[in-house]
Amino acid sequence: MIQRRLYIYIVAAASFGMVLIGLINLGTTALNQLLNATPPYSNVRDAYAGFGAVILVGLPVWGIHWWLAQRFAARNADERASAIRRLYLYVVLAATGIALAIYLRRLIEDAVGFVLGTSSVGASITRALWALLVVSGFWLYHFRTAAIDRNKVGESGVSATLRRWYAYGLIFLGLAFLLFGARNLLQQIWVLLVDRGQVIAPGGLVPTALATMLSGLVIWGFHSQWTSRAPIAEDDQRSTLRAVQRFLALTGCVALALFGASQLLYYALARVLGIEHPGGVTTSILVAVASPAATVIVFGLAWLWIQRQLAADAGATEATRQAGVRHLYTHLVAFLALATLAIGAAGLLWTLSDQILNSLLHHPTGEWRDRISLFITLIAVGAPMWFTHWRQSPELAERLTLSRRLYLYATLLGAVLAALISGAIFVYRLLALVLGTSDAAGGAPVIDMGRALSVVLVAAAIGLYHWRVLRSDSAARPVIAAVPSVSAPIHEGRQAGGMVVTITGATDEQVRQALSKLPDGASYTIQR
């Protein structure tokens, strides 16, 4: 049975791909010819023959195999509920969903460009429209088929996981389109408004950003509304994939918002220090800040928004999960902030070491204020973020969380690796100095040793601090006491293959309430 299913759905998926590619390309070739547009293929007849053949072969094969799949599903509920069928449906939905996002973006971009006069290629609008119609037709058909299957036989286990991969994957893609599109659009608007008189051709940047944002909104909006309604919402409430998708999005938003804030502060500080072109920026500072300001605004707001979504998700679950989500968020932000702080501190020491050693060796010192501004900025952004999110000695429950241990070990790993690599460089340059290699006379090894030492110092400080925290957490971990062997009930419990749990600080009622969630068939005895 499984072999038959595999055969039917693999052939159906392959032939469906042929039909989709053939239909899109055959249609666009015909449209190019009708509209006298420049065709992408040198020989139109070759294109007709090739794509025509793909459809002529693919369509009957897909038709026959899909008809068989539907017939078996109608006869047998197990067939309809099978994970292989769901795999086919959600793979096709994901592929057509991604294609839909791409063609929708192209259609909006071409249409807006055409209306605003930045694009004069009318044929490309028709081509994108055709591709969008084909892809959305197939997507709708498969979406409806999956919904019918869900209504008839339900969706659980692997099938539900496959649906979540599709839904949360598309939500992530849509959100990325939406946020990057909004950031780029805000940046372009800023430049156009600030430097209106100097822009001689606005180009297609605004239509492109607008199209990215709007297509992202459609994909994200549809799928997030779909997953927020019963019965999918209840089913996905405790889903790990849903939380992973949100945490991934949150990580990206926090990292980009921190980057944007660093850039903004860097430009400001550099101007205070009298640097005319910070970071090699050649345009006016008002134009230069367009990108970081737009990044901070869009990704900062998204950060708050996703944080609220996570809190709302956790609010609908039990207290343990709420606390887990809160800790994961806090440790994630603390980790990113610490990385920013570490780069800033190491970079600052590196620049100062360069400056001091070059002066001592009578080498030209070069521009240092620009780099100092950059690294001070990273410290200024990273330090407060880290101090507000990191707690050295929290309550015991937080000390034992997985997210805290992940944070501590990831930080230790990064610090040890950085110290190891920089230490090796330091020793290598020290040996070069001692052995008098070709560049030793110029003092190059001394400069490199100063740089390596800067990284070693910061990595060692961070590593040592976190190692001590790790040790302190381990010391605070409660020791599991040996169970007294003389107690008769305990002895009985062990003999029956059960376990003994000692609980303090809770009433009988609270313990009974907690134990009521045990599976059917489980029994317990409460003894004081």
Footprint of another protein (CB under 8 A): 38, 106, 109-110, 112, 116-121, 124, 140, 143-144, 147, 178, 180, 182-189, 191-193, 195-210, 213-214, 217, 221-222, 224-226, 228-229, 256, 259, 282-283, 287, 291, 295, 301, 305, 308-309, 312
To which residue do tokens 């001592």 refer? 360
- Which lies closer to another protein via its Cβ, residue 59 or residue 192? 192
Rounded CA-CA distance 376/282 in Å is: 22
Rounded CA-CA distance 127/32 in Å is: 8
Rounded CA-CA distance 348/346 in Å is: 5
Q: How far is the CB of 389 from another protein (least distance, A)?
A: 22
Q: How far is the CB of 116 from another protein (least distance, A)?
A: 5
Q: How far is the CB of 67 from another protein (least distance, A)?
A: 23
- Residue 525 CB neighbour total at 10 angstroms: 8
Q: How far is the CB of 287 from another protein (least distance, A)?
A: 8
- Which lies closer to another protein via its Cβ, residue 108 or residue 357? 108
Let me know: does 228 contact 237? Beta carbons within 8 Å: no
Half-sphere exposure of 464 (CA within 13 A, CB side): 6
- Which lies closer to another protein via its Cβ, residue 295 or residue 422? 295
DSSP for residue 276: S
- Which lies closer to another protein via its Cβ, residue 271 or residue 308? 308
Rounded CA-CA distance 128/101 in Å is: 11
- Which lies closer to another protein via its Cβ, residue 199 or residue 500? 199
Q: How far is the CB of 210 from another protein (least distance, A)?
A: 6
Q: How far is the CB of 120 from another protein (least distance, A)?
A: 5
The dihedral through the CA atoms of 198, 201, 206, 208 has a sign that is negative
Secondary structure in 3-state letters for 332-360? HHHHHHHHHHHHHHHHHHHHHHHHHHHHH
Rounded CA-CA distance 508/528 in Å is: 9
- Taking the alpha carbons at both ends of the chain, their separation in whole angstroms is 56
Distance of CA 5 to the CA centre of its chain: 34
- Which lies closer to another protein via its Cβ, residue 59 or residue 286? 286
Half-sphere exposure of 148 (CA within 13 A, CB side): 13
Q: How far is the CB of 127 from another protein (least distance, A)?
A: 11
Return all residues near 251 (Cβ < 8 A) that are at least 6 apart: 332, 336
- Which lies closer to another protein via its Cβ, residue 213 or residue 349? 213
Q: Which of 121, 118, 277, 282 is nearest to 200 (CA)?
A: 118
Q: How far is the CB of 159 from another protein (least distance, A)?
A: 19
Dihedral-angle region of residue 36 (phi above 0 means left; psi in -120 to 50 means alpha; beta otherwise)? left
DSSP for residue 142: H
Q: How far is the CB of 412 from another protein (least distance, A)?
A: 28
- Which lies closer to another protein via its Cβ, residue 117 or residue 364? 117
Look at residue 116 and give its three-state secondary structure. Answer: helix
Q: How far is the CB of 119 from another protein (least distance, A)?
A: 7
Rounded CA-CA distance 112/482 in Å is: 73
- Which lies closer to another protein via its Cβ, residue 247 or residue 305? 305
Q: How far is the CB of 77 from another protein (least distance, A)?
A: 22
Rg (C-alpha) for the chain, rounded Å, is 31
Q: How far is the CB of 483 from another protein (least distance, A)?
A: 50
- Which lies closer to another protein via its Cβ, residue 195 or residue 235? 195
Identity at 518, one-letter amino acid code: L
- Which lies closer to another protein via its Cβ, residue 283 or residue 359? 283
Q: How far is the CB of 121 from another protein (least distance, A)?
A: 8
- Which lies closer to another protein via its Cβ, residue 292 or residue 450? 292
- Residue 12 CB neighbour total at 10 angstroms: 22
- Which lies closer to another protein via its Cβ, residue 73 or residue 178? 178
The full length of the chain comes to 528
Q: Which of 172, 311, 178, 322 is nearest to 251 (CA)?
A: 172
Rounded CA-CA distance 126/212 in Å is: 19
Q: Which of 249, 250, 344, 254 is nearest to 296 (CA)?
A: 254
Let me know: does 332 contact 244? Beta carbons within 8 Å: no
Pair of tokens at residue 230: 């019963």
